[in-house]
Amino acid sequence: MFFAKTLDFAAGVKARLYTSHKGVLYMEEFYEASFGIQDRGCGLTLSPAGSLRRLACIQTRGRELKKVTVSVTHPEDLYGLPWEVGREKGFFKEAGVEIEQIIPSEGGGTTLQNVVSGRLPFGEVATGAIVAGFTEGAPIRVIGGGIQSVADVSWVALKDSPLNDLKDGGASRWGFTNPGSVTEAMSFLTPEGAGLDPQSVKRTSTGGTGAGIALLEAGDVDIAFASPRVALENAAKLKVVGSSADYVKSYQQTLIVSSRDYAQKNPETARGVLAGYAEAVEWINDNPKEAAEFWANKAGLGVEDAGKILDAALAADHWGVAYNPEALEAAAKGLKYTKGMEQVDWKALLTDEYLPEGKKGTIP
């Protein structure tokens, strides 16, 4: 049996506390306050400005933490930052789960297979791989958002190239990584957003970032994808001619998934994973300087470079556990270009039942 009690902290700050005979399960309906209240045991946390963060949380006192492993594509990059922050700052533990290990994956298909096979309970997976797997009958369910911008999709040219801006890239040869990838979708949506005819672009699948740079140097492509990190590391020979985020304001790159059986049988674990992720994203947004230092240390980057990349990501609202309908529809448009999909049934694929109150977003 569950019992609900509304707590009044001060001046309209309230939280609804749900309890059972086993103790506190979670809180919801937190309201903004401009003064200091903190109760880590129940997951109440404050931003540096003093506002009470809104999250659903799971009490862990007297309970054994549920240990889980997640699979994340390229966790050393921005994809993995909320997961690493959540582990380091204890946000997942506050929500009742312990992320024992973050398993790297080289692509969305591999990550998805890890989840579908039951080897791992959760994964953050490329949206295109999820939609393709679901269409083929894979027993998966999307339980939350993830990366919802393309701030990490930069386009580069050689230093001596006459191209200085993506708006000059019509009829040019663009190198994306792999068929069906976000970079292929961006090779359509970016020129379109820049006012160019996307059909005028000549596209080449390079097979990877390093290979794309090699093709640039060989003169086989004019523009190639490079992450902001790679662009900075190769600044002596490359110049950034634009970011996809300048022309595509939101795009659902990844989503958090679980096998249907696991989430249904372990709903509190799913809620804990999403609550911890949401808290980590809020911390990154509230503490950009500290987050840059943390990421620089984890990724082997200079703090200044990490700060530049992170600032661009934050300006683009890069992470979000709530469903972003604009980002999802942009992803559907990208899949139409790359996979010929006329529409995506998001309501069949996505569920918001495990998301924190106030962070469910909208399923289109």
**Alpha carbons 38 and 316: distance in angstroms, whole number:** 29
Residue type, 358: G
Q: Supply the mean pLDDT for the chain.
A: 85
Q: Residue 105's pLDDT is what? A: 74
87, pLDDT greater than 50: yes
- Kindly state the tokens that stand for 105: 């994956």
Common-topology check for domains 66-149+251-349 and 154-246: yes
Confidence of residue 11 (pLDDT cuts 50, 70, 90): very low
Token pair 């469910």: residue: 360
- Kindly state the tokens that stand for 3: 């019992």
Where in the chain are the domains? 3-42, 66-149+251-349, 154-246
Q: Which long-range contacts (CB under 8 A, 24 or more apart) does 304-310 make?
A: 305/229, 305/232, 308/228, 308/232, 309/78, 309/152, 309/228, 309/229, 309/232, 310/78, 310/284
Share of the chain above pLDDT 90, in %: 72
Q: Residue 169's pLDDT is what? A: 87
Q: Residue 107's pLDDT is what? A: 60
Whether residue 322 contacts residue 255, with contact meaning beta carbons closer than 8 Å, is answered with no
Confidence of residue 73 (pLDDT cuts 50, 70, 90): confident
Q: Residue 270's pLDDT is what? A: 97
CATH 3.40.190.10 fits 66-149+251-349, yes or no: yes
pLDDT tens digit string along 115-157? 777 778 999 999 999 999 999 898 889 999 999 999 999 999 9
* CA end-to-end span of the chain: 34
pLDDT tens digit string along 234-251? 999 999 999 999 999 999
Whether residue 158 contacts residue 237, with contact meaning beta carbons closer than 8 Å, is answered with yes
pLDDT tens digit string along 206-227? 999 999 999 999 999 999 999 9
**Alpha carbons 213 and 229: distance in angstroms, whole number:** 14
84, pLDDT greater than 50: yes
pLDDT tens digit string along 108-124? 566 677 777 777 899 99
CATH code for the domain defined by 154-246 = 3.40.190.10
Instruction: Enter the pTM of the model.
Output: 0.83
Confidence of residue 34 (pLDDT cuts 50, 70, 90): very low
131, containing H or E segment: helix 127-135
pLDDT tens digit string along 291-329? 999 999 999 999 999 999 999 999 999 999 999 999 999
Q: Are strands 173-176 and 223-226 parallel, antiparallel or unpaired?
A: parallel
